[in-house]
A and B are shown apart, each in its own frame.
Chain A
C-alpha cells in the first residue's frame, strides 16, 4: 500500500504513515472496498459476465484509482469486447500510476509490436463509425456492407455485431433474422450478460437456429493475465479474501464421462423397461385386432347366410311372379284361353250381340275361358250374353243341320248327312237340351246305317227328356230299329 500523501510504500497493517505521519485508518477501509470490488469483477470475468465485471472494476477504480490489477483487468475486458482504444487508455493510465512492474507494459507492447494488427484495429473502428453514420442517416444497406467487413475483421467487436444484428432485424426478412441471431449468439458467448444482446435475442425468440438447444459453454478468456497480487487484509470481510489468479480454466473430462454414463443408463432403461413395455403393448394390440377380425368374420358369415336365405326367398317370389305374368300375358291356364284372349273374345261377342248377330256372338263367347273371368260383373255379362245367344245359336245350327239332312234351304237338292251331323253337334254344343238336334242326329245316323249311335240319341230323349215333343217320334224310330 502506498501512502496517499507521500506515496511511500508502507505495510497494509499500519494505521499511520511512518514517513509523513498520515492517518491511514480511513484509507485502509477504502482500499479494502476497492479490492472487494476487484475480486468480484474478477469472478464475473471468469464466467464471462463481462458487463458485470466492467461495472465492478469501474467501481473498484472509483474507490482506488491506483488499483493496477483492476485497471489492467478492465483494459483486458475492453480488449476482449473489441474496444481497443478504451483498453489502451486503461493500460496507459495504469502505467502512469505504476510505472514499474506493471502488466500493462506487456499488454501495450503486444498491440504496438504488430503494426498490421494495430492498423487492422484502427480500420475496424473507422468502418464501424462510418457504418453507424450511414445507418443513422438512412443508408442501411451501406451500413450492413461496412459492418460485415468489421465483424469479419474483428469477430469480438460486440458493438459492431449488435449494430449489424439490429440492422438485419430491421429488414423483417427471416433469413436476415437468422443472421442476426447468429451474430447475437456469438456476441453472447463473449459477454453472457450484455443486456443489449439479451434484449435483441429476446426479440428474436421466434427464430431458431440449427442445433440451437445444444449451447456450448462460453469459451474461457483468451489471454491469461499474470497472477494478481494478494491484496492485504483489512477490516471489511470481503477484503480478507485472497484474490484468486486470473487464469484460463482447464477443460475437464468429467462432463464427457457424465454424458457417456447418462447415455449408458438411458440405453439400459430402454432395454429393460421401455422396449418390453412397447412389445407388450404391441402384442395386446395385435390380440385385440385379431379378436376384432374374428368377430367381423363371424358377423360376415352370418350376414352371408342371411343374404342367401333372402336371395332364395326373392328368387321364389320372382318365379311366382313370372308364372303369374305368363298366365296373364301368354300361356294361360291349361286347356283354355288366356286371360287376355278371354277378354278379347268376350268383347268380340259383345260386339256381335250389340249388332244382333247372335250366332257369331255365341261363337265368340264359346271361345271365352270362363275360369279366367274373375270379376263378378264380367261374369254376369258373360252369363247374360250366353243366355240370350246360345239358345238362338243352337236353333240356328239345328235349322242348318236339318236343312242339310232334308236337302232343303241352302242345301236344297243335296242331302249331306255328315254335314248335318257336324251342324247338329254344334247345335247341341250351344244347347245341350236341344232335343230336336238330338232327334235329327239319330236320324242322320239311322240313314247312315249306324243304328247304335242312332239308338243312343233316341234313348237319351226318352230317358232324360220324357216331356219333349220328340219322345213319340223317338219311340217310333226305335221300333223301326227293332227296339
Chain B
C-alpha cells in the first residue's frame, strides 16, 4: 500500500462556521429543473417558429 498516496486522499472536514458556505455552494439543480428548462426552451422555440399566414397573390 502506498501510504503517502492514501494520506493524500484525505480531505479536511468542513468547520461548523463554514456550514453556511457549504449550503449556499450546494448545487441543487435536479432533473426536474433540467426538464423544466428543456420544456421552457422548447416552448419558446415553437413560439418563435410560428409562421404567419400569408395570402397567395
Contacts and interface: CB of A to CB of B under 8 A. Distances in A.
A81 B21 CA distance: 21
A125 B16 CA distance: 8
Contact of B31 (A23, A63, A93, A126): A63
Nearest to B13: A125
Contacts of A121: 16
Contact of A93 (B1, B9, B26): B26
A128 interface: yes
B16 A65 contact: no
Interface residues of B, number: 27
A93 B10 contact: no
Q: Identify whether the interface residues of A are mostly helix, strand, loop, or mixed.
A: helix
Contacts, number: 88
Interface in B21-57: 22-23, 26, 28-33, 35-36, 39
* Interface bin, chain A: 35 or more
Contact of B13 (A23, A62, A135, A159): A159
Given A163-B10, A169-B3, A61 B16 contact: no
A85 B31 contact: no
Given A89-B23, A93-B23, A132 B10 contact: yes
Contact of B30 (A61, A86, A133): A61
B14 A125 contact: yes
Contacts of B1: 169, 203
A5 B26 contact: no
Given A62-B30, A166-B7, A169-B1, A84 B16 contact: yes
Contact of B15 (A31, A126, A203): A126
Interface of B: 1, 3, 6-10, 12-19, 22-23, 26, 28-33, 35-36, 39
- 6 closest residue pairs by CB, A with B: A85-B14, A65-B30, A129-B12, A170-B3, A89-B22, A63-B31
